Amino acid sequence: MAVDAVPSMIDAFVTRADLADLALFIWASGASTAAAMLLRELAAANRRFDAFVRELHRFNARHADD
């Protein structure tokens, strides 16, 4: 359904000569997608760092008596 909507949206923009609006929409969509991907990667890096710190704490607690 969404695939069929894209050509009709482009045709609507082109027939009304709103090419600047189309370019702005494409840029904003790309920027939003990039921001979402960046936030997802940042969340994954945060989880990895949290796991590392947790393991480091367990290691230090295990070897505290040495």
Q: Is 54 buried (19+), middle (13-18) or exposed (0-12) by CB count in 10 A? A: exposed
pLDDT in tens, 21-34: 788 889 999 999 99
Query: Which tokens go with 41?
Result: 């990667």
Question: Domain limits at 38?
Answer: 2-62
At 18, is the pLDDT very low, low, confident or very high (cuts 50, 70, 90)?
confident
- Domain total in the chain: 1
